[in-house]
Chains A and B, each alone.
Chain A
Amino acid sequence: MSLLSVSDLSIEYATPQGYVRAVDRVSFDLDEGEVLGIAGESGCGKTTAALSLLRILPKSAKVKGSVMFNHEDVLTMEDSRLRQYRWKDVSLVPQSSMNAFDPVITIGAQILEAIRIHEKVEKSAAWDRAGDLLESVGINRNRLRHYPHEFSGGMRQRAAIAMALSLSPKVVILDEPTTALDVVTQRQILNLLRRLRSRLKVSFIFITHDLSILGELSDRIIVMYAGRIAEIGKTQRIVNSPSHPYTKALFSSVLPVQGPLPVVKPISGLPPNLASLPSGCRFHPRCPFAFERCSLEEPKLVKIDDDTEASCFLLER
C-alpha cells in the first residue's frame, strides 16, 4: 500500500509574465520504507514538487491535483492537523540545510526546540532524545552543547538529518543533501541514509541532479524535465537501460573514475524557460533523436514494463 500518493499534481507560480507551470500533471506513489529518487537539472520542478507535499510553497503558488497521505488529503488539511503532519508525518531536510542552523544557539537546543514544539515532553527527556538522535547519525552526544560553527559541513548535514528524524516521521524529504559536500563526506552521508533506512523503516524522497548517487541509494527513480515526468521506474532498470533520451543524456554526462573513459557528451542547450515552453515534447529542442512529430504533439507516459514508464514517441508500441 502506498503511503503517499500524488496524482495529477500541477503547480503554477504567478510571475510578471503570467502564470508559469513549474510542475505539470505529475503522479507518483511512495511506498512504506521506500527510497524514491527525483532527478533532473536545475529548474525542472523537483524542489517545487517536493515542497508541495508539505504545503510550504509561497502563497503565489497555485496547486492543483491531489496529495494523499495515508488516505488523508494533504491539500485540504486544517492548519492544526497540518502542523502535526509537518515534521511528525513528513519532514524535510531543505537544500543547504547545513547552513540553516542558527549560529548562536547550540545544536542540542535547536533539536530540542523542534521536539518540544510538537510534543509535550520534559526538557530532560527531550534532551536525551536529541542525544540519541545525534548518535543515530554517528555524532557523539557530547556534541549537543556545541555550536554549528564547531561542526564540519558533513556533521552539520548529519545534524540536519537528525533534526528531521526527531519526531520519527514516516517520510523524510531530502533536497540535494550532498550537493555541497566533497566525495568522502558524500559517501558518509549515503552510508548513513542506507543504515537509517534499514533500521527505522522510514521512506526517503531524495532530490538530486546527480543520477550516479541515486543508482546506489534509491529503489525507484523519477526523472523530471521541465515540470513533467520524463521517466519513472525501478532504479536497476533505469540505471542499466534508460529509456528516455533525457535520462540517457543525464547518464552520459556523468564522469566515471573507473573503467574506460566513454565518450562524454554534455546535453546541448538549457532546460526551457517555463514561461515559454516549446511546443510538443518539451525536450525536443535538445533531443538528438527528435523528429517531426516531437514538435507537434506532447508525448504521454507509456508503459515500458511493469514498473517503468517513459514519455517519448520512440517508445510507443
Chain B
Amino acid sequence: MGTDVILDISELGVDFSTPTGLFRRSRISAVDKVSIKINRGESVGFVGESGSGKTTIARCIVKLIEPTSGHILFNGQDIFEQNSAENKEYRKHVQMVFQDPYESLNPRSNISQIVEEPLIVHHISPDKESRRERVYELLSLVGLEKELVKRYPHELSGGQRQRVSIARALAVNPDVLVADEPVSMLDVSIRVGILNLLKELKKTLNLTFVFITHDLGVARYFCDRVAVIYRGQIMEVAGTEALISETRNPYTKLLLDSVPGNREAGEASAKDEAEWADGKRQFSDIPSGCRFNPRCPNAKEQCTKVPPPLEALGENHYVACHYPLRP
C-alpha cells in the first residue's frame, strides 16, 4: 500500500465554539479523532445524518476549516503546514463540488466565466483563446453543449448547474474531488445521470473521490468504501457491499432501515423516535461511552461508560461497537 495512500487523515478533531448564554460560550466537538486512509483512485463515502460532522471533515480536507487537532497528509505532506506556494499548489490538487448548485454558482457570471475563473486564478492558460478551448473541452467532458457558455446559472436546470460545478472543479486537473451531497438537491430522475458522469470521470481521469451523502442508496451506487459517521466519530468502515450485506454496527442498521421501502423499519426506529420526542437531546452534550448509546436498541451498561474503539472485525471491515451485530 504505502505509496497508494493519497489522503491520510489521522486523529482529526474539530471543535466549534458556540454561545450558550449572553457571554458564555461552550465548545462542541463536531469531529473527534477521525482516522482514515484514502487510496488513489478510490471513492470513499462519508455517510451520516445531518449534523454528524461529515461535511466538517470534507471542509477540513479542502482547507476551508482548520482542525483543532490531528493531521491530514496529502501525498505524505501535512496540508496544514504548507507555505503559501504549497498551499496554492494543493488547491489545484483537491477541488470541491458543493451541495447546492443553486447557491454555489455566481448568478452574475455566465457559464464561460464560471468555468474559466480557476484557469485565470491558477495561471493555467495564459491567453484567452486557449482558455476558451479549455472551457469547451470541460463542458463536453461533463456532457454540456457549448452553446451554454453565454447562459447564466438561473437559465439552467439543477442537473445542468451541478454539471457546471463539476466542470469548474475539473478545470485545474485535480487528483481529488470532494463532493458534498452533490445529488441530494436534485430530482431523483436526474441523480443517476450525475452519478454516472462522476463514475465515468473517475475512470477516465483517475480521480479520487471523497463523497459526502446521507443516502446509502447513492453511496452504494457510487462508492467503493463507506465510512459511517455519527456525531463526529466513525462508527463503521467497510467496502460498500460488505457494509450493507454484513452490517455490524447498530447505527449503520438504523440508517439502512430508514430508507423508504423498508416498512418494518417503522418499528426499528420507534425507540429512536421516543428519544427525540422529549426534545431533551442537546447537540452540545455528548453522551459518555458510545455516542450512539441513547439511541441504540442494544445498548448495555458498558456502552454508557466506555467509548468503543474502532476495531477490525474482518478484512478491511472496522467497527466501533462493544456488541457488534452478527452479519
Q: Which of B274-308 contact A (CB under 8 A)?
A: 276-280
Kindly state the separation between the CA atoms of A242 and B5 in the bound complex, as whole angstroms. Answer: 46
Residues of chain A whose beta carbon lies under 8 Å from any beta carbon of chain B: 41-42, 138-140, 142-143, 152-155, 181-188, 190-191, 194, 209-213, 215-216, 249-250, 253-258, 261, 264-267, 270
A181, A194, A266: which contacts B191 (Cβ < 8 A)?
A266
Q: Which residues of B contact A186 (CB under 8 A)?
A: 258, 260
Q: Is the CB of A190 within 8 A of B277?
A: no
Q: Is the CB of B190 within 8 A of A183?
A: no
Does B248 lie at the interface of the complex (its beta carbon under 8 Å from any beta carbon of A)? no
Does B309 lie at the interface of the complex (its beta carbon under 8 Å from any beta carbon of A)? no
Q: Is the CB of A41 within 8 A of B266?
A: no
CB distance from A119 to the nearest CB of B (A): 27
Q: Is the CB of A184 within 8 A of B254?
A: yes
CB distance from A286 to the nearest CB of B (A): 10
CB distance from A259 to the nearest CB of B (A): 10
Listed residue (B189, B216, B272) with the most chain A CB atoms within 10 angstroms of its CB: B189
Tell me whether A270 and B159 are in contact in the complex, defined as CB-CB below 8 angstroms, given that A143-B279, A261-B220 are known contacts.
yes
Q: Which residues of A contact B259 (CB under 8 A)?
A: 183, 187, 212, 257-258
Tell me whether A270 and B157 are in contact in the complex, defined as CB-CB below 8 angstroms, given that A140-B278, A185-B50, A255-B191 are known contacts.
yes
**Interface of chain B: mostly helix, strand, loop or mixed:** helix
Does B49 lie at the interface of the complex (its beta carbon under 8 Å from any beta carbon of A)? yes
Does B262 lie at the interface of the complex (its beta carbon under 8 Å from any beta carbon of A)? yes
A-B contact list, 22 entries, CB within 8 Å: A42-B157, A140-B280, A153-B50, A155-B276, A183-B255, A183-B259, A184-B258, A187-B266, A188-B269, A191-B266, A191-B273, A212-B188, A213-B260, A250-B188, A253-B189, A254-B217, A255-B220, A257-B217, A257-B256, A266-B189, A270-B159, A270-B190
Kindly state the separation between the CA atoms of A256 and B262 in the bound complex, as whole angstroms. Answer: 11
CB distance from B92 to the nearest CB of A (A): 31
Kindly state the separation between the CA atoms of A294 and B59 in the bound complex, as whole angstroms. Answer: 49
Give the number of chain B interface residues (Cβ < 8 Å).
Answer: 42
B190, B220, B273: which contacts A257 (Cβ < 8 A)?
B220
Q: Is the CB of B260 within 8 A of A216?
A: yes
A187, A210, A265: which contacts B192 (Cβ < 8 A)?
A265
- The chain A residue sitting closest to B193, CB to CB, is A266
Q: Which residues of A contact B269 (CB under 8 A)?
A: 184, 187-188, 191
Does B196 lie at the interface of the complex (its beta carbon under 8 Å from any beta carbon of A)? yes
Q: Which residues of B contact A153 (CB under 8 A)?
A: 50
Does B16 lie at the interface of the complex (its beta carbon under 8 Å from any beta carbon of A)? no
Q: Which residues of B contact A211 (CB under 8 A)?
A: 188
Q: Is the CB of A264 within 8 A of B192?
A: yes
Q: Which residues of B contact A42 (CB under 8 A)?
A: 157-158, 187
Kindly state the separation between the CA atoms of A249 and B220 in the bound complex, as whole angstroms. Answer: 20
B49, B190, B266, B279: which contacts A139 (Cβ < 8 A)?
B279
Tell me whether A182 and B214 are in contact in the complex, defined as CB-CB below 8 angstroms, given that A140-B278, A258-B244, A266-B189 are known contacts.
yes
Q: Is the CB of B273 within 8 A of A138?
A: yes
CB distance from B219 to the nearest CB of A (A): 9
Kindly state the separation between the CA atoms of A58 and B50 in the bound complex, as whole angstroms. Answer: 34
- The chain A residue sitting closest to B266, CB to CB, is A191
Kindly state the separation between the CA atoms of A138 and B33 in the bound complex, as whole angstroms. Answer: 34
Does B12 lie at the interface of the complex (its beta carbon under 8 Å from any beta carbon of A)? no
B221, B254, B261: which contacts A216 (Cβ < 8 A)?
B261
Q: Which residues of A contact B187 (CB under 8 A)?
A: 41-42, 209
Kindly state the separation between the CA atoms of A186 and B50 in the bound complex, as whole angstroms. Answer: 11
Known: A257-B216, A264-B221. 6 other contacts (CB 8 A): A187-B269, A190-B260, A209-B188, A215-B261, A250-B188, A257-B256
Does B310 lie at the interface of the complex (its beta carbon under 8 Å from any beta carbon of A)? no
Q: Is the CB of A256 within 8 A of B217?
A: yes
Does B218 lie at the interface of the complex (its beta carbon under 8 Å from any beta carbon of A)? yes
Q: Which residues of A contact B215 (CB under 8 A)?
A: 183, 255
Q: Is the CB of A266 within 8 A of B192?
A: yes
Tell me whether A212 and B260 are in contact in the complex, defined as CB-CB below 8 angstroms, given that A185-B50, A188-B269, A191-B273 are known contacts.
yes
Q: Is the CB of B277 within 8 A of A255?
A: no
Kindly state the separation between the CA atoms of A70 and B257 in the bound complex, as whole angstroms. Answer: 40
Q: Which residues of A contact B217 (CB under 8 A)?
A: 254-257
Q: Is the CB of A210 within 8 A of B260?
A: yes
Q: Is the CB of B189 within 8 A of A209?
A: yes
Closest 9 CB pairs of A and B: A266-B193, A255-B217, A187-B258, A182-B214, A266-B192, A183-B258, A212-B260, A138-B277, A182-B49
